[in-house]
Amino acid sequence: MTAAGEPLLRVEGLRVHFPIRRGVFFDRTVGHVRAVDGVDLAIDRGTTYGLVGESGCGKSTLGRAVLRLVEPTGGQVLFDGTDVASLKGEALRTMRRRMQMVFQDPLGSLDPRQDVESLLSEPLRAHGLGGGTAGIAGRVRELMDAVGLPSAALRRYPHEFSGGQRQRIGIARAISLEPDLLIADEPVSALDVSVQAQVVNLLEELQRRLGLTYLVIAHDLAVVRHISDVVGVMYLGSLVEQAPSGVLYDEPLHPYTRALMSAVPVPDPVVEERRERILLAGDLPSPANPPSGCRFHTRCPWRQETRCDDEVPVLRELAPGHLVSCHWAEEIRDGVLAPKSPEEVAAIQGVTVRATGAEAIESDALVQGLDEPIERR
């Protein structure tokens, strides 16, 4: 066992690159999607780390790589001080038990042919836990109680439940093996507003009671702010900023974080009318062909020639626990640099975007939904 001061999870230089293959007769690798491209992060015991970013920025892939559901291309995952890649056999099984996942789509992740009782007792049986049939039956009832479902529901099948109830079943299953780390990938985004709050509260309550550590992946910044101690913002496979939740929302430093925050609608017309919005030009560039230098430079209102286009910014600590990867973070914070309007950004990028980055790869099923940087006139 390691010292309590050591983070439960430490990710160092994690990279996951997916090959893009083409060709009719034999596969040719024509490039790579750099889904996760050098991420460092650490999660302390009993805390919640929230990971946010736009669709396709690599959040889920990062979560899956931590669990080794995908094989990392490079970097390390240290769980409780042990390099996960070095584990084999029984040790790997134990480690897997200690990290569990809650999925976005509760229906898709639950076997429709099993009733709730068998869904919940199966993992216990598989790991030889729970202490025999009677013990397992007792434990299953405890789990149902913990997630606020009546025991009467045990005989029912997943499709007979509402979305929120299914997510409760998914959570019960994930905590059944008494894990230390729970990775929740968009745990509430498929749920109705009123039900989201129930599941968020449940996750918080379970954390308090069981001392769980969470990695919560979500695109909804308000949910992440609410639930997390520390928040990391991802853009095109890398972390661009990380800070304690309150600090990040009070003083976002990275231009992307600022834009993201200003784009989240707040359910209050008074606030909405007074807010300053930072609109971004264009779409997320393709992770198969990321921009050179700072990856955000194609959309950044504060971009400075030519450093932003050429030099990759590193994640550096500007205040205790507040990390940001922007060459001009201090100048932006102090108001020395002024932002350009999205139209100006688009106009400038209209000429330069295509010249930067590697050779263009045609749109591909794998990178569907993503597009080359915008070149607006």
Partner 1 sequence: MSIEAMPPESGLRTDVPVLEVEDLSVTFVRRGEQPTRAVDEVSFSVAAGETIGLVGESGCGKSVTSLAVMGLLPRRGVQVGGSVRLGGTELLGASDRTLRRLRGSEMAMVFQDPLSSLNPTVPIGTQVTEVLAEHRGLGKKEATAEAAELLDRVGIPDPTRRLKEYPHQLSGGMRQRALIAMALACSPRLLIADEPTTALDVTIQAQILELLRELVVDTGTALVMITHDLGVVAGLCDRVHVMYAGKVIETADRHDLFARPRQPYTGGLLASVPRLDAGRGVPLTPIRGSARDAIPWAEGCAFAPRCDNAQDDCLTEVAGSTVPLEYDGPGRELRCRHPLTYPPSPTGATSSGSTASGAGR
Q: Pick from 7, 31, 50, 58: which binds ligand ATP (CB under 6 A)? A: 58
Report how far apart, in Å, the C-alpha atoms of 51 and of each of 66, 183, 239, 268, 369 are: 13, 11, 9, 25, 21
Per the CB < 8 A criterion, the answer to whether 213 and 47 are in contact is yes
Using Cβ positions, the residue closest to ligand SF4 within the complex turns out to be: 294
The answer to whether 60 contacts ligand ATP (rule: CB under 6 A) is yes
Here the tokens at position 192 are 């109705």
The answer to whether 258 contacts ligand SF4 (rule: CB under 6 A) is no
Candidate ranges 9-17, 60-68, 105-113, 141-149; the one touching Mg ion (CB under 5 A): 60-68
The answer to whether 57 contacts ligand ATP (rule: CB under 6 A) is yes
Candidate ranges 20-28, 54-62, 172-180, 364-372; the one touching Mg ion (CB under 5 A): 54-62
The DSSP code for 28 is E
Shorter beta-carbon distance to ligand SF4: residue 7 or 313: 313
The answer to whether 67 contacts ligand ATP (rule: CB under 6 A) is no
**Residue 360: which of ligand SF4, Mg ion, partner 1, none does it interact with, CB under 5 to 8 A by kind?**
none
- Residues of this chain that interact with partner 1 (CB under 8 A) are 54-55, 162-165, 192-198, 200-201, 219, 221-223, 225-229, 245-246, 249, 259-273, 277, 279-280, 282-284, 346, 350, 363, 368-371, 374-377
What contacts 200, CB < 8 A, 6 or more positions away?
Answer: 188, 223, 226, 227
Report how far apart, in Å, the C-alpha atoms of 152 and of each of 22, 117, 141, 148 are: 52, 10, 10, 12
Counting DSSP H helices and E strands in the chain, the numbers are: 13, 12
How far is it, in rounded angstroms, from Cα 377 to Cα 374? 10
Candidate ranges 59-67, 203-211, 245-253, 265-273; the one touching ligand ATP (CB under 6 A): 59-67
How far is it, in rounded angstroms, from Cα 188 to Cα 367? 25
- Per-residue interface string for the shown chain with ligand ATP, residues 173-212, x marking contact by CB under 6 A: ----------------------------------------
Residues touching ligand SF4: how many (CB under 6 A)?
13
Q: Pick from 75, 282, 287, 373: which binds ligand ATP (CB under 6 A)? A: 287
- The one-letter amino acid code at 118 reads S
**Residue 46: which of partner 1, ligand ATP, ligand SF4, none does it interact with, CB under 5 to 8 A by kind?**
none
Element (H, E) at 343: helix 342-352
Among 119, 101, 203, 204, which Cα is nearest to 160's?
119
Contacts with Mg ion by CB under 5 A lie at 60
